Structure 1
Amino acid sequence: MECFCPYGTNIEAVIQLLPLFGQKKELIGYLKSKETEGLTWTGIATSGLFDWEGLLNRTATIWDGGHKSFTLINERPLGQAVVSALQNPEQTRNQYLYVASVETSQQEILAALEKVTGGKWTVNKTTTEAQLTAAAKKLTVGDFNGTFILVRATIFGNMPGVNANYAKETVLANDLLGLKLETVEETVNQAANN
């Protein structure tokens, strides 16, 4: 029997920030406990989606100067990763596979966006501390938009141990799954032309 667990991560620092990700860790623990009974599983860790809607709204929020590097995934390679993992069960079984489309920083994304759109963007500067405070305030009053801030913190925030750059901090499974790293400008051009 096979089980497929796409998306997300099981990093302890992320779970401390976003306890709801603890459910993913528990699920993987359960799946591992069933391996001796013949269950196989594959997990895919993707980081955030890059070429999602809203990429071209001409406003950027830059965290802590925007120079921290991280990886992101585009929608098409995400789908390809899932298909490739299912097509190669022997090579992908019983492991977490880290995949990425781009390795970048907020400043690099902003520069590419301004180049492609032909103009300066409105930039709102913030800090990890300010964002975490805002998230806590929202969550305290039942506003679950605070969760989205915490998710962004796992990518953009200056926090130790969150493993935001899969290309530097893990072993990418891109080659195994037939994926390649793209440039930020390629992604931004594609988004601008859709």
Structure 2
Amino acid sequence: MSSSSICQKVIIVGATGNLGPYLVSAFDADPDFQVSILSRASSDCSQFPQHIPVHRIDNNYNTSDTKLVEILTGQDVIISALATQAVLQQKAIINAAVKAGVKHFVPSEYGHDTRNERAAQLLPPCFFTHKKQIVEYLQSKEVEGLKWTAFVTGPFFETFDFQKRHAVILKDFSDHHWSTTTLSTVALAVKNAISAPTEKTNKYLFVESFNVSQNKILSAVERLTKDKWEVSYHDAEEQRQTASAKLSRRDYSGLPTLMGYVTCVDGYGGDYMQYEESANDLLSLPQESLDSALKKMVE
């Protein structure tokens, strides 16, 4: 850290989820930041370095405004990585952030472009509608001095299962492209945006590690494994209807199918780089190798 720089205090919420540990690691490795964690009392934070302070709060973030304000006072930035089902609890954290004088808030927005109304109609509110509502709530707090940055990353690359050597392809959309980002690159994007926030606040930033299609990934993994994979081809609309029917009965086993549908089918925001500007260069993100990333997952 240079003598003229000011160390920013960053507190990470939801640090034990899929993305949280990567965020903690990225910020902790940069001497320009002091990192702490805000955690529910029931969460296990034992995997984090002992030098990182952990602030405990009741399991529902809505229950203790006074305690939240006390914890957040003196913090510069809040990075939220709360689980999908808990995203509305961010309102209480945002309210406390304003009272505590926090300067910058990154909501748990990572993933699909939640502004896409067609996709929002297919999925439970917590996946799209509630996330969009949180960004709108942050927009309402701009007049109170709270800045925000939201990240659209596509599905996390590591969530794809390449161990079964069986591919499920939505035919008619097998060559349609969409974006996906590795967890480490998502974390780096967030860290770099906070490191130099000029022109990176009060907006969505769109990043990707790879722009791929179902067929492109299948071809790559077959080449890497030197093996012909079993492939099941399905009608996209039949898959959507079946999964939606399950969801209407509160059978959530159809959710992965619907998430795959909005990712791979044209018009649902999966290929957001068609209509938005990439922030990869703005955030100094590295060029990544699809083959290298896949190799780690299929070995």
The two structures have a TM-score, normalised by structure 2, of: 0.60
The corresponding residue for 2:84 is none
Report the 3-state secondary structure (helix = DSSP H, G, I; strand = E; otherwise coil) of the residue aligned with 2:232. strand
Q: Does 1:190 align with 2:296?
A: yes
Moved more, 38-47 or 140-149: 140-149
- Ranked by relative contact order (alpha carbons within 8 Å, sequence separation 6 or more), the top structure is 1
Q: Does 1:14 align with 2:119?
A: yes
Q: Please, which of 15, 21, 25 is the counterpart of residue 132 of structure 2? A: 25
Q: Does 1:2 align with 2:104?
A: yes
Q: Percent of pairs identical after alignment? A: 31
Letter of the aligned partner of 2:243 in structure 1? Answer: A
Q: In structure 1, how many angstroms separate the alpha carbons of the residues matched to 2:288 and 2:294?
A: 11
Moved more, 96-105 or 134-143: 134-143
Contact 1:50 1:74 in 2 (8 A): yes
The corresponding residue for 2:250 is 142
Report the 3-state secondary structure (helix = DSSP H, G, I; strand = E; otherwise coil) of the residue aligned with 1:44. strand
The corresponding residue for 1:87 is 195
The corresponding residue for 1:58 is 165
Q: In structure 2, how many angstroms separate the alpha carbons of the residues matched to 1:2 and 1:132?
A: 38
Q: Does 1:35 align with 2:137?
A: no
Q: Does 1:49 align with 2:151?
A: no
More helix by share: 1
Q: In structure 2, how many angstroms separate the alpha carbons of the residues matched to 1:133 and 1:183?
A: 35
Contact 1:43 1:95 in 2 (8 A): yes
Letter of the aligned partner of 1:146 in structure 2? Answer: G
Q: Superposed, which structure 2 residues align to 1:62-73 within 5 Å? A: 62-65=169-172, 66-73=174-181
The corresponding residue for 1:119 is 227
Contact 2:152 2:207 in 1 (8 A): yes
Q: CA RMSD in A?
A: 1.8
Contact 1:70 1:164 in 2 (8 A): yes
Going from structure 1 to structure 2, the CA distance change for 1:166 and 1:179 (only over 3 Å counts) comes to farther
Report the 3-state secondary structure (helix = DSSP H, G, I; strand = E; otherwise coil) of the residue aligned with 2:105. strand
The corresponding residue for 2:269 is 163
Q: CA deviation at 1:139?
A: 1.0
Q: In structure 1, how many angstroms separate the alpha carbons of the residues matched to 2:240 and 2:287?
A: 30
Q: CA deviation at 1:16?
A: 2.2
Q: CA deviation at 1:177?
A: 1.4
Contact 1:135 1:147 in 2 (8 A): yes
Deviations along 1:102-158, whole A, 9 cap, x unmatched?
011110100011011111101010122011112122112221122222211111124
Q: In structure 1, how many angstroms separate the alpha carbons of the residues matched to 2:224 and 2:216?
A: 12
Q: CA deviation at 1:183?
A: 4.0
Q: In structure 2, how many angstroms separate the alpha carbons of the residues matched to 1:93 and 1:60?
A: 39
Contact 2:192 2:283 in 1 (8 A): yes
Q: CA deviation at 1:80?
A: 1.0
Letter of the aligned partner of 1:143 in structure 2? Answer: D
Contact 2:122 2:244 in 1 (8 A): no
Deviations along 1:138-184, whole A, 9 cap, x unmatched?
112221122222211111124x2x22113322111111112144343
Letter of the aligned partner of 1:129 in structure 2? Answer: E
The two structures have a TM-score, normalised by structure 1, of: 0.90
